[in-house]
Every structure is written in C-alpha cells, then in structure tokens.
Amino acid sequence: EVIRPGTMGRVKVWFNANKAGRMGLTQTSIYLSRFPGDKIGKNNEIFISAVVLPNISKTDTLIATTPRVQLSSTRITLDGTQGKRLAQEKLTLTNIGGSPLEIMQVQVFNPGLRVRLRGKTLSPGESRDINISTIAHQEKKSRGRSSILLLTNDPTQPKIVIDVEVKR
C-alpha cells in the first residue's frame, strides 16, 4: 500500500510459532520500502522479537503431579564497581512439584552476561544454583538492565524472566 505524506498506516505482521524451529527468543528484522528500488537500511528497519513458549496442558487435575518451579528471586543487581573482579550472583532454583522439572531453554539477552546451570533436570524437592556473572571482555556490553529467560515444563510458569542490572 501507499501511505501519503502526513497520514498514518498500519502494518500487520504474523508469526507462525510452529515454523520457528525452536522455543525461546526469536529475533529478526523486516524492512519497509519507501519507493521502488529502496535499499535496506536502519531508516526502514522494523526490529521484531517473539518468545515461543512450550505448549503445556494446564488442567487442574494435573497441577498436583506436575513440576513446579520456585526461584529465590527474579531480580538481581550485579556490582561491577569492584575493579577487575567479575561481578557475580547466585540464585537458587527449586522443584517444589511432584514430577521432574526440566529447564528447556536458558537465554541471555545481553552478550556481557554469563549464566551457568549444572544439569537441566531437577527431581521433586531438588534445588540447584544458577550462577550469573559478567564477562570480562564484554564488560561494556553488560552495563545497564538486561534479562535472562528460562523456559520450563512447569504448566503454571513456562516462562521465567530474571531481571539483571549491572552497576558500574
């Protein structure tokens, strides 16, 4: 369509999650043409992000026997003012449900952060630490706010977002 100067238009974008190929964060750019033969550039780019979640049944009769995730916190602050020492923090992940909890995906939304989680399956009652730290050679990219995405097989919380702030 053509949008005349001084008017507004609407662009609809459809995303087929079945064709995404994987769960978690999917990012891409689409470009709008201002005129025939228009070149791709930052001026006509629309950045799109989508999070594909697992399809998990949420029936009440199954909730008692399903895995249930409990996280010690969903917000952390990493203190990067300690000189050359890397900023780090630990969170505790616990399965308070009745069947094994699977961490299907761990995605970091900032190249300056590192997440370490030993093993991705927790038995009922089991706890495990998630170590979050900055990466020395990516120090400048880890400033400000970022987040970490955990996808689980918990029907009540298939997506957990951990908000991370790095202070410098």
Statement: residue 141 has pLDDT above 60: no
Q: What does the pLDDT look like over 72-129, one tens digit per residue?
A: 999 998 876 655 567 889 999 999 998 999 998 898 888 788 899 999 999 999 999 9
According to DSSP, the residues that pair with 144 across neighbouring strands are 166
CA triplet 90, 158, 26: central angle to 5 degrees? 90
Residue 70 is predicted with a pLDDT of: 94
Q: CA distances (Å), 113 to each of 49, 51, 80, 121, 149, in order?
A: 20, 20, 12, 23, 12
Q: CA distances (Å), 20 to each of 50, 106, 114, 140, in order?
A: 10, 17, 25, 31
Residue 145 is predicted with a pLDDT of: 67
Task: Give the range among 8-17, 86-95, 136-145, 148-157 with minimum mean pLDDT.
Answer: 136-145
| Between 27 and 67, residue with greater pLDDT | 67
